Amino acid sequence: MKILMLSPEPFFSPRGTPISIYFRLKALSDLGHSVELLTYPSGADVSLKNLEILRVHNLLSTGRIKIGPSPSKIPLDFLLYLKAAHRLREFRYDLIYTHEEAAWLGVVLAKNHLLPHIYDMHSSLPDQISQHKYGTLLGIRKLFLWMEHLSLKSADAVVVICPELMRYVSEKGFGAKAVLVENFISFNGQEDAEGRIKKIRKDLAPDGEKIILYSGNFRPYQGLFLLLEAAARVQAEDVVFVLVGGHGKDRNRTMKRAEQLNISRKVQFLGEVSPERIPDYLAAADVLVSPRLAGMSIPLKIYTYLKSGKPIVATSIPAHTQILDEKTSVLVEPDRDHLADGITFALFQPEALRHAQEAREQTVREYTYPLFLEKMKEALGLALSNKGRG
């Protein structure tokens, strides 16, 4: 098929949704389909067979796009719609595939051009808006709820990324058109991984310290202040906390908090790292942490954590417990003392290594690329079938 895909993201960039979109594109390419990806002006080009990336113009000189809802996305999404409408008038397509809020555009475009539409639901947008300052504005959440319902009702198939989203969609009455496609894939490492890992350990822990590593963005819901407060309570002296990711105000705010807690000496901020290098950093660590405080969707990093074979310490919230349990990780209450105790346990107790081995074996059993391809084929088939019945 020839697929028109709309991505309201800076593609490609090293963060959750763009990484997920990359592997959706790879799967579609490997299944023999060609894709035109309409996306934002910013982001790096990627090379995949049968993929063409088309970007809207940055007419308003919009800067870096923040994670989550943002007013700066509104004009860019409008330009996405105009470009998509133009492409649909000029060229023939077999299917429209939209991500996140682009589903709202897909509702109109699919109806106007009588095409099947897949809505890739990476999160509940009303849930997202509730976690940001815009969620307090009168009527905004109600608007997002209405538009989400319209998207679910109108789409011919809905891709969800985690069991909690599947439950959510089913409760709203649309489970029959939903397919669970989890984001478990990671980028393949290059040659000489052992040499790179040794260098990372030498750079981060020159005196042989144990490394506790966090990877991801630095938004407040990720719980990095909680992690720093826990770090201040971890009694072991021969440890270093390494925070990979973050930029701008979020990173500066987190660094300032480390200074306030007087722990700057044992916390390192590495900034953003390309996805291809993340597995090396995970392999160099002794413990991996996810102190997340809120959210419905499973953090993408959890899948790479599971594959690493390293002990995982995570807060016991639905975003984690959909995939983590007491056999595969150290789950703790989301407060500083329990998190500090969990990190200490993972560092020094052999049982934590058994958890890590179980986690790794789980990924080998349950998460494979052929299964990922089958799920993508199922979503495509469902969309075509439902459109045919319509």
* Nearby residues of 12 by Cβ (< 8 Å), 6 or more positions away: 18, 19, 21, 22, 43, 44, 45, 46
For 193-366, CATH number out of 3.40.50.2000, 1.20.1600.10, 3.90.1150.10, 3.20.20.70 equals 3.40.50.2000
The whole-number pLDDT of residue 130 equals: 75
Judge: domain 2-185+368-389, CATH 3.40.50.2020: no
The whole-number pLDDT of residue 126 equals: 86
Length of the chain: 390
Task: Name the residue ranges covered by the structural domains of the chain.
Answer: 2-185+368-389, 193-366
The whole-number pLDDT of residue 59 equals: 78
The whole-number pLDDT of residue 296 equals: 87
pLDDT top residue among 70 and 114:
114
2-185+368-389 and 193-366: same fold?
A: yes
Which of the four pLDDT bands, split at 50, 70 and 90, describes residue 339?
A: very high
Per-residue pLDDT tens for 247-271?
899 999 999 999 999 999 999 999 9
User: How far apart are alpha carbons 130 and 67 in whole angstroms?
Assistant: 14
pTM for this entry: 0.88
| Closest to 295 in 3D by CA, of 177, 172, 168, 152 | 168
* Nearby residues of 192 by Cβ (< 8 Å), 6 or more positions away: none
Q: Read off the amino acid at residue 194.
A: E
Q: Which strand ranges, in their side-by-side order, compose the sheet holding 51-55?
A: 51-55, 34-39, 2-7, 95-99, 117-121, 157-160, 178-180
